[in-house]
Chains A and B, each alone.
Chain A
Amino acid sequence: MAKIEIEHLYKDYIKNDGSILHAVKDASLTVKDGDVVVIIGPSGSGKSTLLRTVNGLEKAQAGHIYIDDVDVVNPKTDIRKIREEVGMVFQSFNLFPHISVLNNITLAPTKVLKMKKGEAEELAMSLLKRVGLEDKAKERPSNLSGGQQQRVAIARALAMKPKAMLFDEPTSALDPEMIKEVLDVMIELAEEGMTMLLVTHEMGFARAAAKKVIFMDAGEIIETGTPQDMFTHPQSPRTQDFLNHIL
């Protein structure tokens, strides 16, 4: 497993009207090897942007992100190598609709890791079994429920045998009754010692699995603490205000 260190990270956007939006301002955080860190915050606070800079889906303007001492922000770094080692799960699942569930999972191992087809399928079946969907291997993603699709997406990311996982609001697009099945898979993953950085508002998950909770607002990290401290005695008034709204 790996550790993720973010140091003084800045990310700006130029908005349509020409003004500059500071999406992430001077953000620093560390996810230790095998830790689970949850980022919370109001919408537009830059938490997703911060997460997406970790595997280079967004390019940071300044600062450093070290994954096992390799700097993602450094333009000389082979970003594809980083992406092979850091799995990502998206809010809207983003499964490939034109191929079967099985092929969704085997695609990256066969194309990127050059794994043999049989071997990749064996791996995919074991991962599907792990997320409880081995009977759906031949289905198209559109025939699956949201919760099932998200579990496939997790299996797809795990097929690359990542050292760390990023989750961008993995349960926000799900119906309430499907959230648990996805969270169960995530909690299991955390218990196995996967390094995880998440954006989520599932406080239950944060309490059960997270080592640290980070509160972001307007692009800045306002407060960091254990889930207990954060949820029971938040220090900053902005954190208190936010938690009052969602708890």
Chain B
Amino acid sequence: MDIPLNSSAKSNMDTKENFEKAKKAGISPLPQKNEGNKTNINMTDGVLIPTKKNKHLISSWRITFFGAILLLVCLCAFVTRTNSQGVTTHPYWEIFKFTIKGAPVTFECTIFAIVGAVLIGTLTGLGSVTKNRLINGICGVYVELIRGIPLLVQLLFLYFAVGSIFHMEGIIAAIIALSICFGAYMGEIIRAGIQAIPKGQIEAAKALGLSKSQVFFNITLPQTVKIVLPAIGNEFISMLKDSSLVSVLALSDILKRGREYISRTFLSLQTYLVVALIYLIFTLVLSRLVGLMEERLHRHG
């Protein structure tokens, strides 16, 4: 997310000023402890998530969303073409009908892979914060390794290289590769979420006699979930877009169906336009849903 630089610089200055003031007054300037969960995880990927607070994002979301829908509807409804036999067709409508049939595959990959990624990410995140050095090391290497290799390369490697030894279907390979790849990013999100819980709370819980697992399930976990949910939603959006890479595994997702259509009709401009609009509309709907979810979470404390 792009946060305007000058505003953060300004707030830094403000705290510095307060610090100086407090020093002059002879009071030890205590750091402002943040008791609530105001921790924001930096989102590295995905689209901006609009909430009611940032009005300009909502309006730009509206313009893009309704613009995309309007454009798609107009193209499908009003663009006609008459062939040599004098038959009139709606080419965009034909393209839309053909490519949208890839949506179930796209969503299947995305939904299963996000479940897999959350599972792997939870294990990795927990592994990164445990005191066991071996587990720390394994999780760290996994994260570094996966984040350093492009998803497309991972997909091809899993399907063609590993797949030559252990045969697997394209969809399985796609879901596994997406899960492993996003699991690494998810692991970092969950690690950050766990570490965002102030240490004092853990100490207070321990001081009351709670066991390690009681502390985890009653204090750490419920707060971590709240912190990471928006980030996970954002990963889901990224994954929906990146799932288009699975088309290289001969899976009939939206993009692959589009390419099939082009190979028959040579309507590349029209087809890619429709494919782009379909992805855009899906992504915008999802980002709005994530925004609403985040708003709800904030409202409930």
Chain A contacts to B: CB under 8 angstroms: 55, 57, 80-81, 83-84, 87-88, 90, 92-98, 107-108, 111-112, 140-142, 149, 153, 156-157, 160, 172-173
Q: What A residues does B36 contact at CB under 8 A?
A: 97, 142
Contact A92 B200 (CB under 8 A): yes
Q: How many A-B residue pairs have CB under 8 A?
A: 78
In the complex, what's the smallest C-beta–C-beta distance from B292 to chain A, in angstroms?
A: 20
Contact A98 B222 (CB under 8 A): yes
Q: A55-B207, A157-B208 are in contact. Are A97 and B223 (CB under 8 A)?
A: yes
Answer whether residue B241 sits at the interface, using C-beta atoms and an 8 A cutoff: no
In the complex, what's the smallest C-beta–C-beta distance from B198 to chain A, in angstroms?
A: 7
Contact A160 B218 (CB under 8 A): no
B57-65, B131-139, B209-217 - interface stretch: B209-217
Restricting to B3-54, which residues have a CB under 8 Å from any CB of A?
30, 33, 35-37
Answer whether residue B172 sits at the interface, using C-beta atoms and an 8 A cutoff: no
Contact B35 A93 (CB under 8 A): yes
Closest to A109 in B: B208
Contact A80 B211 (CB under 8 A): yes
Q: What B residues does A149 contact at CB under 8 A?
A: 35
Question: Considering the chains assembled together, what is the distance between the CA atoms of A27 and B218 in angstroms?
Answer: 36
Sorted nearest first, the 3 A-B pairs with minimum C-beta distance are A94-B204, A84-B209, A108-B208
A80-B209, A90-B204, A97-B201 given. 5 additional CB < 8 A pairs?
A88-B204, A94-B198, A96-B219, A108-B208, A142-B35
In the complex, what's the smallest C-beta–C-beta distance from B172 to chain A, in angstroms?
A: 38
In the complex, what's the smallest C-beta–C-beta distance from B59 to chain A, in angstroms?
A: 31
Prevailing SS type, chain B contact patch: helix
Answer whether residue B75 sits at the interface, using C-beta atoms and an 8 A cutoff: no
In the complex, what's the smallest C-beta–C-beta distance from B222 to chain A, in angstroms?
A: 5
Contact A94 B200 (CB under 8 A): yes
Question: Considering the chains assembled together, what is the distance between the CA atoms of A93 and B204 in angstroms?
Answer: 9
Q: What A residues does B205 contact at CB under 8 A?
A: 96, 107-108
In the complex, what's the smallest C-beta–C-beta distance from B33 to chain A, in angstroms?
A: 5
Contact B226 A98 (CB under 8 A): yes
Q: What B residues does A141 contact at CB under 8 A?
A: 35
Q: What B residues does A157 contact at CB under 8 A?
A: 207-208
Question: Considering the chains assembled together, what is the distance between the CA atoms of A90 and B223 in angstroms?
Answer: 20
In the complex, what's the smallest C-beta–C-beta distance from A122 to chain B, in angstroms?
A: 19
The 27 listed contacts between A and B (C-beta, < 8 Å) are A81-B209, A83-B207, A83-B209, A87-B207, A88-B207, A90-B200, A90-B203, A93-B35, A94-B200, A94-B203, A95-B204, A96-B204, A96-B205, A97-B35, A97-B37, A97-B201, A98-B301, A107-B205, A107-B208, A111-B218, A112-B208, A112-B209, A112-B214, A141-B35, A157-B207, A160-B209, A173-B33
Closest to B219 in A: A96
Question: Considering the chains assembled together, what is the distance between the CA atoms of A93 and B200 in angstroms?
Answer: 8
Q: What A residues does B200 contact at CB under 8 A?
A: 90, 92, 94
Q: What B residues does A173 contact at CB under 8 A?
A: 30, 33
Contact A83 B218 (CB under 8 A): no
